[in-house]
Structure 1
Amino acid sequence: MDDPPNVDTLVSGLVSDSESARKYAVFKLQGLLGDPSFADAFIQADGLLALRDAVMQTSGNTQAYALGSLDKLLELDIGWECVDALVIEKAVALAVGQPLVNIVRNALTLLVLVVSRPLGGARKDGSTTFGFRAIKPALDNHPNFLESLVHRLSAPDHTLCANALQLVNALMRDAVVNGGELEWPRFIKRLQDLGVIGGVGMLMRGDAANDAGSPLAAAILEFQGLTKLLLRKWKEVRVNVELHEHKKALKTIHLASNPQPFSPPDSNGEPGRKGTRKHHPEKWRRLGFETESPAWEFDETGYLGMMDLVDFTRRNGDTYQKILMEQSMQPVSQRCPIARASLSVTLVLYEHFEIDGSAVVEGGGHRTSLQDRVLEARASGNLDRLYRPLLLQWGRLHTAALSAFIRLWKAAGADLADFYKIEEVVRIVVERVIGATTRKTDVAKVEEELRSVSLDKARQWQMEGLDEVYEDAWGPHLVQIREQLHHESLQFMKEQRVRCLLEGSWFPTSAGGDAAWRFVRLSHNRRHLHYRNYASRGIDEPGLDDLPEKIDLNAVTSVDSNVSASEQPTALMNGDNSSTETLTDKPSPEPLKAATTTKITVIGHPPPTKSYILTPLQSEPVETVLLELYPQSSSLASEWLDGLLLLLNQQPITKDTTSLVSMMEDWGVRLRMLNLRWEDVDWDALEMSVKGERVEVREVPSRDGLDDDYWYALPET
């Protein structure tokens, strides 16, 4: 391997008249100037001026290498004295009109370094060589520079995309940090109008973002962080109606509502005359503000909330007017306050994307730390969760979420007292819908899901979320409570199922569907099953005295059945899909003539008889079938199978019983967690229809005026 050329040789090559010598010198410099000691020696040998001349006077690959060499020096924070207005002008011109990719890449890198340079980097003559102000004169000479820069984001060369996005990031950061309160919003809006959001969004969803070690991945993440910084900055800007931009925004919100001319009535109540037109007394309240001085209502959301509301009125002008017209016909308490709801949705999105919790992207060595974050995310399989392209679609998400707020308000029949309840439901919907997306999820799909979420689905999510919250908060306590409630629920179902057995039921004597029937009933002491076969099914239910055959439950060893496998088909065959039928007092429905395939087999030891004698080899009687039951519906099968199992101190196995136990257990947990009392329940809201009949709402008895001197009147026997 040849030894690298020394500094003097390279400097001589830079000032040589030979194009090949100059090209060789700048090519070698690119690799050597990364070494600080070599860079110092190069500057001591007066090579800086020669390198500047190469940047300004050469072309093609020689110019690309010269720019790359200068970039290496600037990255070491040396050599700034040669970066004057002419060099910046040259870099801007190359970035706009140069077709060679390698030249454009290095020119953009130079501009990134200039814009990102710390505030302390001022020249001795007082002129500045940092920030947006350093390149602004050159941009004035090239008005299409920003448009060209945004266009570079879609270039096929990923390094060029990365350099272009790094410059966009540097310009945005400098505008926010060093720009005035009025300057940076205008500059950011200009970039957005040029399509920077769409360009970066495509990069986020593309395959290039998977390359965790590339500068492009870090640049994308930096842009995402800057977007959060901008949202935070807009939220911190207080709304001031004295400012032209803020006053104009409020006027836009008002005019988009299509306000009608208002003339106050005269003293006789007649319509006012022409020329007496005034503002409507509810000019702002009719739009959903709480007062007629709406500026203070933006205190929590700042100018960000105003921007979101303006954006909604522009995107949904006709819908906005239609909603206001519909609500004007309703009582004030039942109208959805659109403006207030809009501000609420802004805060919901702000919390969802954790804007306040995000780190501010600063200059300096931030790019290395960003690359480390990308590498860590890829190693842990969370790369898709690191990028949040939907954050860039803030306006569309706000519009869709606000529309969902209004729709859920109508579906719930809410009034102003329910505002925070609907807000919480919308927060859950946003977490579920937006929180489940990946970096490749299209915003149109999210909008569609927000449009289609029903109130029932949202409430289901709300209850699931409640379980998760309390599960995290209570931990072992919930386990203990669930175990206790499961035992109580199981005991309740045992009593209910046993009561069904005490009432007795009719069963066909075989699966063939013949005319023979059998009535089976549990004895009052719950020790025997009484039964009798009949030629036909009777109208009345026989008493225990009419059932001579009986089985001692102590002799029963097991209960076998195919109910679990055939439960659902049997239910459908019999037109029975209710798991709570056994909780009603209605008689069992007439059985179908079709044959049943459901069978319950009671197995045990036969009763001892004179003819039955154990042999010496037999230690206990052989098990045999004691009784066979053919239930005609899934509910009847569930009652008898689980009832018999519970009598034998075994666990229920049918879906009907286990689902009822789970339901009672879940509701018991929720009631314990919410610590509800009788007087806490809004009984007016809980009135319901059961089987078409109105449930009577009884007043809670009061103990006012009562003492311990009371007695019970027992009925006479």
Structure 2
Amino acid sequence: MDTVNVAELVERLGSDEDAVRKMAVFKLQGNIGDPSFADIFIVEGGLTRLRYLTLHASGNTLAYSLTSFARLLEVDKGWECVDQELVERIVELIVTHPLVNILRGAMSILVSIVSHPHTGSRASEADLFGFRALKPAIAIYPQFLEMLVSRLSSADHALCANALQLINSLMRDSITFDSEAEWPKFIQKLQDLGVIRAVYVLMQDSALQDLAHPLLEFQSLTKVLLRKWRDIPLNQEKPEHRRALKGIYLASNPTKGGVDETSENGDDTRRSKRHHPDKWRRLGFESESPAAEFHEVGFLGMMDLADYVRSHQDEFQKMLLEQSTKPARQRCPIAQASLAVTSILYEHFEVDKSEMDDSKNYMMLESRSNFDKLFKPLLLHWTRLHVAGLQAFFRLWKATAAESEDLDKLVELVRILIESVVGGAGRTKDVQDIEEELANYEYHRLRELQMELLELTYEDAWGQHLRQVRDELHHEALQFVKEQRIRCLLQGAWFSMEPSSKTETGAAARSTASHQYVQLSHNRRYLHFGEFDSVGDRAPELDALPEKIDLSTVSSVVSNVSTTPDHASSATVKTAPRQASTKITIHGYAQSSTGHSKSHTHTRTGSKSTGKEVVLLTLRPASHSVASEWLDGLLMLLNQQPITSETTKLIDLVGNYGLKIRLLNVRFDDATFAGEAPPVPVRDGLDEDYYYDVFGGA
């Protein structure tokens, strides 16, 4: 503001030379967004000249004028110059002008006018704002909405964003202030012009950044519309509601369904006006008072059912004919199924989520990684999803040979199906692919998914307790298996030797010994071993083993025993699957021998201070199970984690077995189930005098 002389700028706006006016208004558009500058500009009389340029200029001068006026309205100033003449001029520009820079400014001005709050005390003032301000101009240029929707396909993203912002403003104002009879007509007109398809394409586009805010607002407005339709109760006193319900009935072709009846007096030319006693139950309603059954989904449920009946009339009539040949309990309740699918979609898309929650999502738009999470293009194709979900219900009803009492189970299956297919779809997945998946999803796959979700339900209900129990049982299982493995070492075992091998410290080659016996001492501090020419009938006594290793000097245990994938990176394991035999090597510090006069036992030990690591003992187990017992036993004795697959499986087996035993004592409660708790199963002749055999059965 320090570098711009406002009075001089205003004077130049009224110049007779277009070049002077153009430079002045160009400079104006960069400063008018400052409220302090705007105040001085209005005081200096600039507002009148800006309005004149907006009404009469052309080319770039007009473009700069429109941008300046739009920015002035954005700082909530200049409203005294907004009148029907100005609005009509802006609408005319949008309809007739091809230049993008002019269209952007014009649309921004209309967004501010439509969104401006209705604060005027007089009706004449109120008519200057909101959607009603545009209606006289739209009457002169009826192609306005069509041109506006067509701009959504423009290659210029900024123009698309401006057009969508204006559409959003018109929708919101219409929903908020128009009568119940008017706003649905306006929304329907926009839909007929292709706004849904255009926004759907934009929402799936890779370049979302410039359009993110108006797209998210349109998605939010879609939820507002669905919620508004749902909240309208079905009222047969209203002509449009009565017509919709009658349309569903007539689409069922009641004459072929046996609804019209010949009068009882035998005169075939006169037909009774009496209705069939199952007039509405025949269509799948629960009773002969269908209006009451729309309580949960309101007029939205009526719209969905009516749309299906209208767009798939042949399928609807064919189903009714097929159902009429079956017993009542086996007939598919078409109307109830439709209302259920509407309710499922309503819950899936969280339509009841408040706009306050949606507004928090705007803060997440800064990161492109959130786009797939925030945008739900499939919501825009509500009607197609409803039809696809309803047809999936029909298919499952037939595949499962369901009956009336199975309705809730089928509804739950369809809910899982929609959550899986629609909920699992990415932002760029086309609605046609979704329809095909819903049509081709196999029943057995759906049942498997249902079982998985049931397990998760139990997990949710008992989650914290189950995790605590699992942790406790895993620790107990680990201690149990550790003790079992160490007891294998306490029992001792025979290991084969290579006849030509040398001692671990490089002593003279052995010539006769072919086996060695190894056993852990009772105090679990020493590993005793001795070499023998053959395997004896009886295991040698611990005192008969001439050598021992002090386990406090062991540095690592290395083996080529195969491990589980999760532990394959352990520093103490080396896998060598191509070796001919299994080998366990115990490393420790440099050897020193200590003589014992009575037992003549040599202790292989060393000082850690020397830092010299050598092989203390090599074991060659006869089988993989023995290798697992000794390798993990030694590791766990050294307070390290077990690594072999056999030990891991044993720990999991013991832990899971303990969990199942504990769960036998867990009682189902109301928190686990929606609604009432399941009844306790009974059997004739069964009393309370029974027991359960864990290993056998009841």
- TM-score normalised to the size of structure 1? 0.68
Are the counterparts in 2 of residues 225 and 360 from structure 1 also a CA contact under 8 Å?
Answer: no
The match for 1:701 is: 685
- Residue 147 of structure 2 corresponds to residue 148 of structure 1: yes
Q: In structure 1, which of residues 366, 374, 377 is the aligned counterpart of residue 365 of structure 2?
A: 374
Look up the SS of the partner of 2:279 in the other structure: coil
Q: Percent identity?
A: 48
Distance 1:283 1:384 in 2: 46
Counterpart of 1:181 in structure 2: which amino acid?
Answer: E
The match for 1:477 is: 465
The match for 1:343 is: 339
1:3-26 superposed Cα distances (whole Å, 9 cap, x missing partner):
733122122112111111111111
Q: CA deviation at 1:703?
A: 4.0
1:370-403 superposed Cα distances (whole Å, 9 cap, x missing partner):
653311x53xx32211011011010111111112
Give the 5 Å matches for 1:423-502: 423-479=411-467
Q: In structure 2, which of residues 331, 352, 355 is the aligned counterpart of residue 356 of structure 1?
A: 352
Q: CA deviation at 1:661?
A: 8.8
User: Which 10-residue stretch deviates more, 37-46 or 321-330?
Assistant: 321-330
Distance 2:163 2:620 in 1: 86
Q: In structure 1, which of residues 232, 235, 243 is the aligned counterpart of residue 238 of structure 2?
A: 243
- Residue 105 of structure 2 corresponds to residue 110 of structure 1: no
Tell me the matched-pair count.
564
Are the counterparts in 1 of residues 261 and 271 from structure 2 also a CA contact under 8 Å?
Answer: no
Distance 1:429 1:121 in 2: 51
- Residue 291 of structure 2 corresponds to residue 325 of structure 1: no
Give the 5 Å matches for 1:291-690: 291-359=287-355, 371-375=362-366, 377-378=367-368, 381-479=369-467, 653=646, 675=668, 680-681=680-681
The match for 1:528 is: none
Counterpart of 2:304 in structure 1: which amino acid?
Answer: D
The match for 1:63 is: 62
The match for 2:514 is: none
The match for 2:547 is: none
Are the counterparts in 2 of residues 564 and 654 from structure 1 also a CA contact under 8 Å?
Answer: no
Relative to 1, partners in 2 of residues 1:298 and 1:488: Cα closer, same or farther, differing over 3 Å?
Answer: farther
Distance 1:413 1:489 in 2: 46
Relative to 1, partners in 2 of residues 1:668 and 1:106: Cα closer, same or farther, differing over 3 Å?
Answer: farther
Unaligned runs of 5+ in 2: 479-535, 542-558, 565-580, 585-598, 605-616, 629-641, 670-676, 690-698
Relative to 1, partners in 2 of residues 1:274 and 1:486: Cα closer, same or farther, differing over 3 Å?
Answer: farther
Relative to 1, partners in 2 of residues 1:563 and 1:681: Cα closer, same or farther, differing over 3 Å?
Answer: farther
Look up the SS of the partner of 1:61 in the other structure: helix
Distance 2:314 2:131 in 1: 41
Look up the SS of the partner of 1:439 in the other structure: coil
Distance 1:700 1:344 in 2: 37
1:430-458 superposed Cα distances (whole Å, 9 cap, x missing partner):
22211112211111111122112223222
Q: CA deviation at 1:477?
A: 2.0
Are the counterparts in 2 of residues 263 and 273 from structure 1 also a CA contact under 8 Å?
Answer: no
The match for 1:184 is: 183
The match for 1:7 is: 6
Distance 2:90 2:133 in 1: 12
The match for 1:137 is: 136
User: Which 10-residue stretch deviates more, 221-230 or 396-405?
Assistant: 396-405
- TM-score normalised to the size of structure 2? 0.70
Are the counterparts in 2 of residues 561 and 641 from structure 1 also a CA contact under 8 Å?
Answer: no
1:84-107 superposed Cα distances (whole Å, 9 cap, x missing partner):
111111100100110111111101
Counterpart of 2:373 in structure 1: which amino acid?
Answer: R
1:74-133 superposed Cα distances (whole Å, 9 cap, x missing partner):
112111111111111110010011011111110111111110000115679646321011
Q: CA deviation at 1:700?
A: 4.5
Distance 1:44 1:262 in 2: 77
Distance 2:299 2:537 in 1: 81
Q: CA deviation at 1:319?
A: 2.2
Relative to 1, partners in 2 of residues 1:46 and 1:274: Cα closer, same or farther, differing over 3 Å?
Answer: same
Counterpart of 2:433 in structure 1: which amino acid?
Answer: K
Are the counterparts in 2 of residues 81 and 123 from structure 1 also a CA contact under 8 Å?
Answer: no
Distance 1:653 1:678 in 2: 40
Are the counterparts in 1 of residues 47 and 78 from structure 2 also a CA contact under 8 Å?
Answer: yes
Are the counterparts in 2 of residues 551 and 626 from structure 1 also a CA contact under 8 Å?
Answer: no
The match for 2:85 is: 86
Counterpart of 1:27 in structure 2: which amino acid?
Answer: F
Relative to 1, partners in 2 of residues 1:146 and 1:679: Cα closer, same or farther, differing over 3 Å?
Answer: closer
Q: CA deviation at 1:208?
A: 2.4
Look up the SS of the partner of 1:240 in the other structure: coil
Distance 2:425 2:654 in 1: 35
Counterpart of 2:234 in structure 1: which amino acid?
Answer: V
1:471-524 superposed Cα distances (whole Å, 9 cap, x missing partner):
23323421355579999999xxxxxxxxxxxxxxxxxxxxxxxxxxxxxxxxxx
The match for 1:276 is: 272
Unaligned runs of 5+ in 1: 491-549, 566-599, 604-613, 629-637, 643-649, 683-698, 707-717
Distance 2:295 2:447 in 1: 30
Distance 1:488 1:32 in 2: 73
Are the counterparts in 2 of residues 489 and 664 from structure 1 also a CA contact under 8 Å?
Answer: no
Provide the aligned C-alpha RMSD in A. 4.6
Are the counterparts in 1 of residues 280 and 290 from structure 2 also a CA contact under 8 Å?
Answer: yes
Distance 2:62 2:68 in 1: 10
The match for 1:582 is: none
Distance 1:121 1:44 in 2: 23
Are the counterparts in 2 of residues 262 and 277 from structure 1 also a CA contact under 8 Å?
Answer: no
Relative to 1, partners in 2 of residues 1:679 and 1:623: Cα closer, same or farther, differing over 3 Å?
Answer: farther
